[in-house]
Structure 1
């Protein structure tokens, strides 16, 4: 990066580097865009203190420093500075501002639009926007303090830079001059560490709602059954490596150990390592020099699997390398026979206890192993498990900062810490000092059927830590048919009629039929599927006490679910569809004309 901005400054004539200045957040006295902004000095002047480079600046401007020391007005002799900012760096920082404000629920759309308009209308030189200020000395303190002051009121600093600072923001400023002793400053804006200063023109953040969604690290997609919540997540993760997607489904027996991991009994097969010829020479030498009696035979028994892979010539080479007669290959073979006959059986397998990671921990480890890639943990049916029990103290990690990292870490228990230290390494930030912290590249998406919300109610504290997105019913499968007898009914017509009655009776959307409540491969819902899946659900979960007036064949006559299976069941099913006003595949209402089941199509 340093070489890039050096070449850019050389290209516009500033080829002499004066000094590099790092200005941290606390030294930036400026009015900011974010609500938690630091105020200026009160006079409305934009200024940036440069105390970190005071020594270098004294050497560069000795006469100016000396004159101000002699109590001459600091305005006399102030140096004009031209400032350059990479457009790509500004866009990158603007993305962080949008993300920060979205996470804190601040509306900054007008300000963002104003900034984007300014960038669009500004003239860039070699990908850089420029403005001017003065380099001055402040005489209001016990010692002189250098700073940039009086930036152009309509320049890029006044209109943009002062508005894209965030907590922990910082500048890296490189001051240059040319042969005419004219000065220019090249700026990079980033965060605490100089290593983080990168001008990334490829980062695109929130301005539209689509991009806002990409910044959400924890989302629960909720809605009626079959509205396509899981399908939406699948579509969003299209193109993501399967290695970076981890799935689990909550159920009433889900707990911390099935979500995170725990020690479990596992079967271990004791298969000896296969050693190379060189390694076997070392092993036999150790036994020989260690005074082991009958060492060739005992060696053959202990390393029988490896010796079985070798031919006679290799065995002789091993003996000769160890200073032994190659006649001892017979002893090797005796030992191999003993090992294969007795030792193999005793070591074939055994039950051991080992830590077995589950979905959360597997995703957590992957996120720290691949910090440059996004990793996703998908939780289906999140409210079918007791979230307080399943998450346990991980609940604390769900508080994320503006960049997606956990604001508060938690201490891992001894078992979990030992496993992570072995898996990631003791110095890995994912378990450093024995603490857990969700990284910014780990995303957690969940689904929830509103019809199941009474299983394990989610408390408000847990809810606040998630973004929520409602998935409505779209009535989009217009080509799906319900086949009864010789008539094809419109699925969307049936879906709308039933949902209208459910909504009218319950004033709730929890029990509505979603677009994918059923998912026929050929688009045809048979009468069997209609009865066993759709009507069974409506009878048991919606119409228990007669709500909805769905199971009727006329204004005065009800029909029970069992009657639809009995004698004349198909006849009653057709009358039920007629009473509901379901249209056929041609959008005509199907009516029952007589008791003899003469059905005619009548235009709606």
Structure 2
């Protein structure tokens, strides 16, 4: 009985494996240590088309496997983001898969198969496209007719996005919405962390830490959120992965990133322009699931693939934050989350025993007053989402806003311009607010009343 194309391709003896599930909509690529990476058949067809369309440029990388040349070629010549990611991080494994397919299309015997050689002849590549298309066409999600001039598969390329603005302008919500858009709603592909004053490189990237196993103590690599997100991106090249970093400037961000800082420079495809050799070889082993494709694990490089985005939030006006230097900041796409009180809740709140107004109007009046009386900068004003409807359910001004105004915004200022002059402590202010007493100044109440009438 004649062995089929896919059966022959998967039967060749090699340290790098290939298997095709029954659905034939994806292929599973296995590296030398048994780690499995999934790639869609449509992406693999697109890669074969690229080998044919850009034949001269791939020939420069060579038909004989050379890791450096093929890794660089993969970053620039393949159109699919998933293929770029996989071929750039698991270069030998992907090269071997291509070799398997081309060899099977040529009906090469197992004895003659060479995993280190890829026949880039145009006739061989056309035979492979035809054979692979016929072998997978029974799945309706895979295009059977291969068009060599097909446009790249639409995909969002990896970015470094920095959302900044006043407190309560919806930075966290915007980050979460963007992350779910990029991952097509797959929350398991969204990783999160919050920076704080004690965040260090070992917390964010990962470090060797002790592990207690019964009565014995061992040491192993404890991955940080960056390493976990990077590993997920490498293992799922067909998917987009997002790492959200809340309060980026509450830590020394450049120090927390460490050597990864250099990876934030991205090329036109969304992947890192550069690669780094991690000081801790355990990081490469954790990400790639092995000692890499090189004999010395300490030489295995890492970079941010095009299917991994970083989304950070920050409010530069917060007390106790670290400044972010321009060298770090310029590597991010900064997006300002502007104040828009028209989006605030219209739930009514009490300002004193006789004056009630909507939270939306109150924020408008308050922000205008802070600017006119205290010359408050825009990034210290009150955003539309500072308080939720749950916070406002009892009709009182929330304690968190009063505390922000008293302790942060008006520290060192004449508080009597906003609050009643007989208030000497925050405890007194809070008590008056809870009892729906008079705690705002006459000047502000006058402005607020005028704002209500204008509304």
In which range does the TM-score fall when normalised by the shorter chain? 0.5 to 0.7
Whether 1:499 and 2:367 are equivalent positions in the alignment is yes
Matches within 5 A, 1:253-268: 253-268=198-213
How far off is 1:426 after superposition? 1.7
Judging changes above 3 Å, is the alpha-carbon distance between structure 1 residues 517 and 424 closer, same or farther for their aligned structure 2 residues? farther
Rate the CA distance shift 1:520–1:349 in 2: closer, same or farther, 3 A: farther
Shift of the 351–514 alpha-carbon distance from structure 1 to 2, 3 Å rule, reads same
Count, aligned residues: 320
**1:481 and 2:348 are equivalent in the alignment:** yes
Q: CA-to-partner distance for each residue in 1:521-544, whole Å, 9 max, x for gaps?
A: 2753643x53x2112211111112
Once the two structures are TM-superposed, the CA of residue 573 in structure 1 deviates from its matched residue by 2.4
CA contact (8 A) 1:501 1:549 kept: no
The equivalent residue for 1:509 is 378
Aligned-pair distance for 1:411?
0.8
- Give the SS at the match of 1:254: coil
Kept in 2, the 8 Å contact 1:552–1:579? The answer is: no
CA distance change for structure 1 residues 350 and 203 in 2, over 3 Å: closer, same or farther? same
2:411 aligned partner: 544
Asked whether the equivalents of residues 417 and 441 of structure 2 are also in contact (C-alpha less than 8 Å), the reply is no
Aligned match for 1:389, one of 255, 260, 266: 255
In the superposition, the TM-score normalised over structure 2's length comes to: 0.60
Between structures 1 and 2, the one with greater strand share: 1
Structure 2 residue aligned with 1:438: 304
For residues 374-405 of structure 1, give each alpha carbon's deviation from its aligned partner in whole angstroms, at most 9, with x where no partner exists.
01011000000001210111111111111111
Distance in 2 between residues matched to 1:501 and 1:518, nearest whole Å: 19
What is the TM-score normalised by the length of structure 1? 0.46
Match of 1:252?
197
Q: Distance in 2 between the 1:234 and 1:20 partners?
A: 39
TM-superposed CA distance for 1:412, in Å, is 1.4
Q: Which consecutive residues of structure 2, in runs of 5 or more, have no partner in the other structure?
A: 1-41, 47-51, 61-77, 82-121, 125-145
Give the 3 Å change call, closer, same or farther, for CA 567–435 of structure 1 in structure 2. Answer: closer
- How far off is 1:562 after superposition? 5.0
Unaligned 5+ runs, structure 1: 6-18, 28-91, 97-171, 175-194, 205-213, 269-347, 590-602
Query: Within 5 Å, which residues of 2 pair with 1:523-534?
Result: 523-524=392-393, 526-527=395-396, 530=398, 532-534=399-401
Measured in 2, the distance between the counterparts of 1:540 and 1:460 equals 30
> SS where residue 317 of structure 2 aligns?
helix
- Higher RCO (C-alpha 8 Å, min separation 6): 2
Residue 371 of structure 1 aligns with which residue? Answer: 237
Determine the C-alpha separation between the residues in 2 that align with 1:383 and 1:21: 44
Q: Does structure 2 conserve the Cα–Cα contact (< 8 Å) formed by 1:497 and 1:580?
A: no
Partners of 2:423 and 2:439 within 8 A in 1: no
- 1:498–1:550: 8 Å Cα contact kept in structure 2? no
Residue 468 (1) aligns with residue 413 (2): no
Structure 2 counterpart SS, 1:393: helix
Deviation at 1:447, TM superposition (A): 0.1
Q: Give the drift of 1:487.
A: 5.4
- For 2:187 and 2:390, the matched residues in 1 are separated by 25
Q: Residues 275-424 of structure 1 correspond to what in structure 2 (within 5 A)?
A: 348-417=214-283, 419-420=285-286, 423-424=289-290
